[in-house]
Amino acid sequence: MATFSELIQGNKPVLVDFSAEWCGPCKMMKPILEKVKSELGDSATIIKVDVDKNKSAANAYKIQGVPTLIVFKHGKPMWRQSGVVQADQLKSIIQKYI
């Protein structure tokens, strides 16, 4: 399995959902992310990072609240937002980096 840093280095955009099991709004993101993934297919990667289990990744990107969504390309954060983002908006943001 690829490491987090390997995953975000690629040519294809990677949406990282920094979340936590105890977070209500994070649970709302699950069906949104599934919809975005089904519409974008293999043109983008979507991964979920539990901030409680991956404190080093959360600290590295200064995650203050969850959910925080970051789109990476070539290892660099291209877009970032905290809170729930609707599927259509998220899809159009990711498509800018495909």
* Domain containing residue 52: CATH number: 3.40.30.10
Q: Mind telling me the catalytic residues?
A: 23, 26
Instruction: Report the first-to-last Cα separation within the chain, whole angstroms.
Output: 23
How many folded domains does the chain comprise? 1
Average pLDDT over the chain, rounded to an integer: 95
pTM of the predicted model over 0.85: yes
H helices within 1-98, ranges in order? 4-7, 24-40, 55-60, 87-95
- What is the structure's pLDDT at 3? 84
Structural domain span for residue 77: 4-96
